[in-house]
Structure 1
């Protein structure tokens, strides 16, 4: 099985594809003509309809945003906890 090199597409190209689809051009025809993967095409349509942006951070739900914030906070607290444990060990030795 040969692997294809990962391609990147500009925002303008993605908008053009989505607009062609909204104008009535069939999904299968667009995918075949522009050699797109169905999952990428579906993602672009979903993102454009949701927020009008193709950036991941613009398309996150409030729950996803909260989860990312909590993960970041958890990582910070874990690091602080490890530092305090080390400090307690050092102080305990003296």
Structure 2
């Protein structure tokens, strides 16, 4: 029977390492100390890192990414509407 080297870590463990990283430990230190791969830890940092905004609300990295995507969509729609207004609004001639 073949075995793989894949280890399943629980969510609390992942969040704990992310918290340690946010509080000053380097990814290299955490990888060495806890025996996790650099790629796994990097993925967890992206997934579980949070940002606190002005009103005290806390957003995850995933929520920030979704907001960035939605903002880009809205900017594109806004540009299209501006072009439509320019096309359909009669221009006054100053001749």
Structure in which a larger fraction of residues adopt helix = 1
TM-score by structure 2 length? Answer: 0.48
Structure in which a larger fraction of residues adopt strand = 2
